[in-house]
Structure 1
C-alpha cells in the first residue's frame, strides 16, 4: 500500500506544476503580444492595462476558463465578423477593444501559438503586417480565427488545415498571395470561410466541396483566380451565401449549383463567365439575391426561374443576353430590384410588372425593348428609380407615375414616348431627377409646380413641348440643371426663373422664345452655362451679366439681340462665347478673355466694330499710284543687303559681349525675398547636398535645409535662363505672383535665389510631406476620416483662393495629392513644384500646345482639346477627393486604361443603393467612419469629375458644399 500512498501526492504535484506552468506560459505570451502590438498614433503600447502584476484574466480583450487558461482573445475594434451560431457568438461576448481613436500595428508574434487552450482569436480591423507566424497548428482547440482587414502578406498558412474544430476562418482584406491551400478542405467543421480582398491566384481547389458544414463562402474581390467555379461546390448542401464576385472567373456556371437548396445569396458579378444561364439554378428555391452582372453570358432568362419565389434582387446587366423579358419576372412575388441594362432584350415588358407591390428599382437601359410602359410599376407605392433609357418604348407615360410619391429618379430619355407629361410629375416630393429628352412628348409644361428642394435635374430636351414656360418653375429651388432645348416653347423667359438660386446649367436653345433676357437672371449666381441660342429674343444683354463670376459658357447666337456688348465682359472667365447672328452694334470690348475668341464668335453682327473685324478696317480707294511702290526693286535689294550686314555685325559684337559678361557673372547669385528673411543665398547653397534630397521630379530636385536661424525650408532647384533657355516663358512674373500670395492653405514661397544658370525656390518646409506620399505610403493608416475631411476642406480653400480671390487669378494645372503638402499639424497647403506649368498671369483659359499635368488627374477636355481653365483644376481636385475616400492611387490599380474615375463610375452604375457602393469604396484602413460624411464627400467628388466641364461646380461652390450640410445629390 505504501507505493500507492506515495503515488497519489506525486500525481497531484505533477498536475499542479503543469497548471502553474501553463498559466505562466499564457501570461508570458500576452506580455510578448503587448510588446509586439502598439498603438500606431502615439507609438506606445495600446494594451495599457496588461500589467504583469495583475491577473491576466482581467486584461482587456482576454477571456479565461475556470482554470484561468486563455480561451478567447479579442483585439478588434469591431464586433466579430459574421457570427454563425450562438456557440461561436458566445466566444466573442467581450466588449470590443477601443484604443482611443486608433487600432494596433506590428506583427503577430509566433509565441501566440503557446496559448494552447485558445478557442477564439480575433485580430481583425487592425494594421498588423508581416507574414502569418508558424505554429498555429498547435492551437487544436481553436474555433474562431479572424484576422480580417490587416496588412498581412505572404502565402496563406497551410497548417491551419489541421485545426479540426475551426468553424470560422476569416483571412480576407489582407495581402496574402499564392493559391488557396488544398489542406483547407480537411477542416470539416468549417462553417464560415472568407478569403475576399486578398491577392490570391491559381485555381480554386475543387476539394473545398467536401466542407459539408460550410454556410458562408467568400472568395471574390481583388483575387484573380484561373479557371472557373468548381462543379464540386454543388455538394455544399448547407451553404447559405456564396460570393465570388470580381475574381476573374471564367467558363460556364456549373449546373450543380442548382442543388444548393439553402442558398439565399449568389454573387458572381464582374467576372468573365460565359455560356447560358443554367436553368438548373431554379433549384435554389431559397434564393433571395442573384447577381450575374458584368459577365459574357448569352441566351435568355430561363423559364424555370419561376420557381425562385423568394427572389428580391435580380441583376443580369452588362451581359449579352437576348430574347424577351419573360412574364415569370413580373410574377415573382418578392422582386424588388430588377436590373437588365446593357443587353439585347427585345419585345414588350410583361404587363403585370410591378403589380407585386414590391418593386423599388427598375433599370432596363440600352436594350431594344418596345411597347408600352406597364401601368402598374408603382403598385404598392415603393418604386424609387425608373430607368428605361435608350430603348424603343412608345405611347404615353403612365398617368399613375404622376402619383408615385416614392419616386426619386425617372430617366426615360431616347425612346419614342408621346403624349403629355403626367399631371403632378414635376411636383413629386422626393424626385431628384426627371429626364425625358429625345422623345416625342407634346403639350405644355405643367402650369402648377409645387415647391421642391429635391429636384436637381429637369431634362426635357428635344421633344415637341409647346406653350410658355410657367412662372411656377421658379418653385424648383433645388434645381441646378434645366434643359428645355429643342422644343417649340413660346413666350418670354419668366423672371421667376431667378428663384432657382442653385441653377448652374440653363439651356433654352432651339425654341421660339421672344422678349428680353430677364435682367434678374444675374441673381442666379451659380450659373456656369447659359444657352439661349436659336430663339427670337430681342433687347440687349443684361448690363450686369459680367457679375456672373463663375459663368463659363454663354451662347445667345441666332437671336434678334441688339445694343452694345457690356465692356465689363472682358473680365469674365469664359471658355465658350457665341454672340453671332444678332444685331449687336458699337465697339467690341477688348482685353481679357474676349481676345481668345475668334471672329466666328461675333460673326453676322454687321454693326459690331472691332480692329479684328473687317467692318472696322478702313479701306483706301483713292491713294496715288506712286504710293503703292515707294522703292524700286534695285534700291530695295541694296537696302536689304545693307541691313543684313548691319544686323550680323551687331549680333557678333553683342554675342562676344554677352559671352564675356556671362563668364564673369554666371556664378553671381541674387536673392529675391518675398518675406522678411534671416538667411542669404550662401546659406541656401550649403543645403544643396545629395543626402538632403527629399524629392525628384521632371522639373527639378527638392532639398531640405535648415537655415542658421533655425528655419527649416524646402529648396526647389530649377534650370535658369542661361544658354539652354531662350526666354523665361513668364517665369519671373509667375515668381513675383506666387511671392505675393498670402493664404493659410497655400505653401509660402519665401524667396528665390537665382543666377544665369539656376533658380532656387525657397519654400516653407512641410514636415509631413505630401498628401500622396502619406496616403499611399506605409503611414496611410494614420489618416483617420476626420483628418482626411479636414485636409479636403483646407486644400479646397487654397484652390478657391487661387481661382477667385488671388490677383491675378491663377489656374494651377497640376492639382494632385502630391502637390498638397502637410505641415506638422497636418494642415493642408497647396503647392506647385511644377512651376513651369503655370498659365499666364491673366489666369484666363488658354489653348495649350501640349497637355501638362499628371496622368489620372487630367480633365477630359484638357486631354482632348488642350483647352484649360479653372474647371480643369476642379476635376483634378475631385480625383484627390476620391483618393481620400478610397485610399487608392488614381491609376495603376484598376487594370490597363482604367483610372479611379472610370472605376468608381463603373461601381456606381452597377450599385443597387448609393450607401452600398460608398461603403464598398471606403479605404479598408478606415475601420470607423461616419458613413453620411463619406457619402457627402463622395457626392462632391462625383460632381467635380463630371465629364462636361460646365456641369462641374466652381471651387467656391466646392468649399461651400464641403462646409455645408449633406448634398442633395443622389448617386
Structure 2
C-alpha cells in the first residue's frame, strides 16, 4: 500500500511538470507573437488552475492536459515562431496560416516528434528550409509552407517523411530542378511545386507516385522539354496543372489513361501539334484548358464522350474546322471559349439548350450563320461575345429577354434587323456593343439598363430620334451612336448622366443646338458632334468641362465667336472647329497654344495674325495684354515678400514643433508589427531637419538610425487633433499591417500621440525608381536592371490584386512609389490611398480623384470609379517611363502626357504597324546594348496596360506572365 502511494505521488508530479511545461511554452509563444486586440490570443492569461491552458483559444489537449493541437489561423499576428515551441513534444497539429509571421522557420520544430500536420502557409517566412525540419518530423502527414519567401533548392531531406500525404512547397522562391528522389514519397497524394522559379526537366520518376491525386507544377516555373508521357501512368490522379511553365512539344496521348482526372490545365505554354483524341477517355473531366498554345487541327469528334465537361478553353491557338455539333450536346457545359483561332462554318444550332451555358466567346474566327436562339434557354447566359466573325441575320428575340446577361459584344459582323428592345433593359448588363453591323430601325422609348456602362451602336443604319430615355442609364460611361441615320435634336437628358465620359454622335443628321445642360456633365473627357447639322454657339460655360481632352464640332453649322474660356481648359489637347460658320478673332494664349491652323479651317469669318488672317481687334487685345503684364510685375514683388515671410514663419514653427515632440516623448505609444529592438525615444531622436529624405503632401519622411545599427524610414503625419484627414494613416495600417510580400515595402510599426502619427518602414537606401530614373543616376540604370524592376513591381501589385482577400487596389502606383533596396530590388510603397475591394471585377465610387497627374486612369478621372484596372493603367505608365526614360508629364508640352506622346510618336513613323520602329522612336537614348526584342515585349505590355478602355487592359497576373514569359505565337496584347 505504501509503495503504491509513492508511485502515485511520482506520477502526479510528472503530470504536473508536463502540464506546467506546456503552459510555459504557450506563454512564451504568446509573448513572441504580436497582434492587435481581438487577435484570438486575448484569453491566453496566467491562472492558478493547472489545466487552464486547455481552454485557450485554438488549443486542444488530451485527457492528461497535454497540448495535442494548436491552431491560431486567420488572425493578424506578427513576429517570430519561438524555439520553445519545440518543447510541445505531444503536439500533433501546428497550424499558423495567414498570420503574417516573419523570420525563419526554427529548427526546434523538429522536436515535435508526434506532429502530424505542419501548416505555416501564407506568411512571410524566409531563408532556406532547414534540413532538420524538412526531414525531422517522422509522423507528419501534411507539410504545407505555401506562399512564403523560402528560397534555395527544394529540400532533399523531405523524402525521409514516409507518412507524408500532402506536400505543398509552392508560392516561394525555390530554384533549381525538381529532385528525382521525390519519387520515394510513396504515400504522397498531393504535390504542389507551382509558383516558384524552378527549371530543368520535369523528372520522369514522379510517375512512380502511384497514390498521387493532385499535381501542381506550373506558374512561374520554366521547364525544358515537354510533358512527360510517363505522367499518364498516375492512375489515381484527379487534378493536373502544369500551366504557364514554357512546355514545348505535343500533348502526350498517354494522358488519356488518367481515368479519374477531373481537371487538366495546360494553358499558357508552347505546346504544338493536334489535340489527342485519346483525351476523350477522361470521362470524369470537368475542366479542360488548352488555351494560349500553338495547337493545330480541329476538335476531336471523340470529345463527345466528355459528358462531365463544364469548362472548355481553346482560345489563342491555331485550330481550324467547324465547332462540332456534339459540343452543344455536352449536358454540363458552362464555359466555351475558342476565340482567336480559325474555326469556320456555323455555331451548333442547339447550343445552349443544355440549360447550363454561362459564357460563350468565339471572337476572331471565321464563323458564319445566325445566332442560335436557345443560347439562354437555361436563363444563365452571362457573356455573349461573337465579335469579328461573319455572322448575319437578326438577333433572336429570346436574347432580349435573357436577364442574366452581363456583357454582349457582337461588333464587326453582318447582323441586320432591329435590335431587340430588351437589350436596353437588361438589369445586369454592363456592356452592349453592337457596332459595325447593319442594324436598322429605331431605338425604343423605354430604356432602363441600371448597370449599363458602355453602349456602342456605331456604324449601323439606325434611324429616328435619339430617345431621351438614354438619360435613365445612370451608370453609362461611353455612348457611341456615330455613323448612323439619327435625326432630331440632342436630348438634354444625356448630359444628366454624372458618369458619362465619352459621347460620339458624329456622322448623323442631327439638328438644333447644343443643350445648355451639357457643361454640367463634368465627367466628360471626349465629345464628338462632328458631321451633323447642328447650329448655334458654343456655350460660354464650356470651361465647366475641366477634364475634357477631346472636342470635335467640325462640319456643322455652328456660328458666333469661339469662347475665350477655352483658354483655361488645360486638359483639352484635341480641338476641331473646322468647317463651320464661326466669326471674329481666334483667342490667343492659354490652351490655344496647343492648336494649329487646321483646328479653325473652313471658317471664312474667323481672323487671327497667328494664322496669317489679319484682324483689327487684335491690336486692342495686345494693348490690354501689355497693361496686364505691368500689373503682374507688381503682383510678383508682393508675392515674393510674402513668400519670404512665410518661409521664416514656417522655420520658427518647425523648431517649436520639434521641441514640443521632445517634451511630449513620454506621451508617445509604440505599436509594432514585428519584433523591434528600439524604443520610442530612439525614433523621436531622429526627427531632425538633417535626417529628412523626402517631403510630400501627406508628410515628411526621415531616415532614422537605430541603436542596433538598423536604418528605418519614418513618415510623420501631423494634424490628428485638428479634425483634418489622417493623410492615409488608416489605409497604411489596414493594408501594410496585414500583408507581407517580398516586393511590397514592410511596415514595421507606428508611433503615435494625440497629434501625430509616425509610420516606421524598412529603409530603402536607393530611394525611389522615379528619383533613380529621372535623376543623375538614370544613365546607369541599364536595361537588364530596368526589366527586373518592372517584373518585381508587377509581382507586388499582382499579389495585391490576386492573392489578398479582400483584394487591394493601390490607387497611387507611380515610379516614386516604387522603392529600391540596397540590391536595387523593387518594393511597392505608399498605401495611403489604398482601398479594399471585396468582389473581384467590381468597382468603387470615390468622392474625388486621388493619385498623381499623368498616372490616373481615364475612367477614374471621368467617373470617380476605381478598380484593379486603374492600377494596371498606372503601372503601364511606369513601364513607359522605364522604356523612354521620360517623366509622365512636363516634357511634351502643356496638356500632353507620356501616353499621348508615345501614341503620337508611333502614329508619325512611316510604318505605324512596326513594333521595332515604334520602340526605336521613343526608347531612352541613355540605354546601350539593350535587346530590342525584350524592349518590344515590354512596350506591347505597356500599351496594353494604358488602353483607354479598361476592359481591354490585362490583369496584373497576365502582366507578370507576359513580362516573364512572352507568348511565342501571339505576343501582342493589343494590335499595335
Name the larger-Rg structure: 1
2:722 equivalent to 1:676:
no
2:835 equivalent to 1:789:
yes
Distance 1:786 1:746 in 2: 7
Distance 2:900 2:758 in 1: 27
Q: Is the 8 A contact 1:38 1:46 kept in 2?
A: no
Match of 2:254 in 1: 256
Q: Is the 8 A contact 1:295 1:319 kept in 2?
A: yes
Match of 1:601 in 2: 599
Greater alpha carbon shift after TM alignment, 317-326 vs 538-547: 538-547
Q: Is the 8 A contact 2:104 2:127 kept in 1?
A: yes
Q: What is the 5 A alignment of 1:674-823? A: 674=647, 676-678=649-651, 710-711=688-689, 714=692, 768=761, 788-789=834-835, 797=850, 799=852
Deviations 1:861-896 (A, max 9, x none): 477479xxxxxxxxxxxxxxxxxxxxxxxx999975
Q: Secondary structure at the match of 1:320?
A: coil
1:108 CA displacement: 0.9
Q: Secondary structure at the match of 1:209?
A: helix
Report the CA distance shift for 1:452/1:93 in structure 2 as closer, same or farther (over 3 A): farther
1:714 CA displacement: 3.1
Q: What is the 5 A alignment of 1:5-84? A: 38-39=33-34, 49=44, 61=58, 63=60, 72-74=69-71, 76-77=73-74
Report the CA distance shift for 1:158/1:765 in structure 2 as closer, same or farther (over 3 A): closer
1:120 CA displacement: 1.0
Deviations 1:198-229 (A, max 9, x none): 11112112211122221111112111122222
1:503 CA displacement: 1.3
Report the CA distance shift for 1:858/1:490 in structure 2 as closer, same or farther (over 3 A): closer
Match of 1:536 in 2: 533
1:907 CA displacement: 15
Match of 2:630 in 1: none
Report the CA distance shift for 1:436/1:291 in structure 2 as closer, same or farther (over 3 A): same
Distance 2:524 2:538 in 1: 15
Of 477, 486, 491, the residue aligned with 1:489 is 486
Deviations 1:807-842 (A, max 9, x none): xxxxxxxx989999xxxxxxxxxxxxx9999749xx
Q: Is the 8 A contact 2:288 2:309 kept in 1?
A: yes
Match of 2:329 in 1: 331
Deviations 1:531-586 (A, max 9, x none): 01111112221232222222211101011111111221211121100000011011
Q: What is the 5 A alignment of 1:191-590? A: 191-446=189-444, 448-573=445-570, 574-590=572-588
1:844 CA displacement: 7.6
Report the CA distance shift for 1:591/1:96 in structure 2 as closer, same or farther (over 3 A): same
Report the CA distance shift for 1:920/1:112 in structure 2 as closer, same or farther (over 3 A): farther
Deviations 1:390-419 (A, max 9, x none): 111111122211111111111000111111
- The count of aligned residue pairs is 730
Q: Is the 8 A contact 2:386 2:411 kept in 1?
A: yes
Match of 1:845 in 2: 894
Report the CA distance shift for 1:38/1:901 in structure 2 as closer, same or farther (over 3 A): farther
Match of 2:927 in 1: none
Q: Is the 8 A contact 1:73 1:120 kept in 2?
A: no
Distance 1:168 1:75 in 2: 20
Distance 2:974 2:725 in 1: 31
Distance 1:93 1:908 in 2: 49
Report the CA distance shift for 1:307/1:802 in structure 2 as closer, same or farther (over 3 A): closer
Q: Secondary structure at the match of 1:309?
A: coil
Q: Secondary structure at the match of 1:496?
A: helix
Q: Is the 8 A contact 2:138 2:162 kept in 1?
A: yes
Could you tell me the TM-score, scaled by structure 2's length? Answer: 0.65
Q: Secondary structure at the match of 2:443?
A: coil
Q: Secondary structure at the match of 1:526?
A: coil
1:170 CA displacement: 1.2
Q: Is the 8 A contact 2:43 2:56 kept in 1?
A: no
1:498 CA displacement: 2.6
Q: Secondary structure at the match of 1:513?
A: strand
Match of 1:144 in 2: 142
Deviations 1:764-786 (A, max 9, x none): 99965779678786999998989
Report the CA distance shift for 1:465/1:802 in structure 2 as closer, same or farther (over 3 A): closer
Report the CA distance shift for 1:125/1:453 in structure 2 as closer, same or farther (over 3 A): same
Report the CA distance shift for 1:18/1:140 in structure 2 as closer, same or farther (over 3 A): farther
For structure 2, the 5+ residue unaligned runs are 77-89, 617-642, 655-682, 696-723, 729-756, 769-812, 838-843, 859-872, 879-884, 909-932, 962-972
Report the CA distance shift for 1:319/1:816 in structure 2 as closer, same or farther (over 3 A): closer
Distance 1:240 1:92 in 2: 32
1:921 CA displacement: 9.8
Q: Is the 8 A contact 2:70 2:94 kept in 1?
A: no
Distance 1:180 1:908 in 2: 39
Q: Is the 8 A contact 2:365 2:389 kept in 1?
A: yes
1:713 CA displacement: 5.6
1:797 CA displacement: 3.7
Match of 2:609 in 1: 611
Distance 1:801 1:414 in 2: 33
Distance 1:147 1:905 in 2: 38
Q: Is the 8 A contact 1:76 1:123 kept in 2?
A: no
Distance 1:781 1:50 in 2: 39
Of 91, 114, 117, the residue aligned with 2:114 is 117
Deviations 1:627-685 (A, max 9, x none): xxxxxxxxxxxxxxxxxxxxxxxxxxxxxxxxxxxxxxxxxxx999646244899xxxx
1:898 CA displacement: 6.1
1:716 CA displacement: 8.1
Distance 1:341 1:352 in 2: 20
Q: Is the 8 A contact 2:40 2:72 kept in 1?
A: no
Distance 1:894 1:14 in 2: 78
Q: Is the 8 A contact 2:557 2:581 kept in 1?
A: yes
Report the CA distance shift for 1:673/1:862 in structure 2 as closer, same or farther (over 3 A): farther
Distance 1:708 1:671 in 2: 28
1:276 CA displacement: 0.7
Aligned alpha-carbon RMSD (Å): 5.2
Of 119, 126, 130, the residue aligned with 2:127 is 130
Distance 1:427 1:40 in 2: 50
Distance 1:216 1:680 in 2: 65
Q: Is the 8 A contact 1:279 1:302 kept in 2?
A: yes
Q: Secondary structure at the match of 1:612?
A: helix
Distance 1:329 1:494 in 2: 46
Distance 1:17 1:893 in 2: 73
For structure 1, the 5+ residue unaligned runs are 1-5, 80-90, 619-669, 682-704, 718-742, 748-763, 805-814, 821-833, 852-856, 867-890, 924-945, 949-971
Match of 1:179 in 2: 177
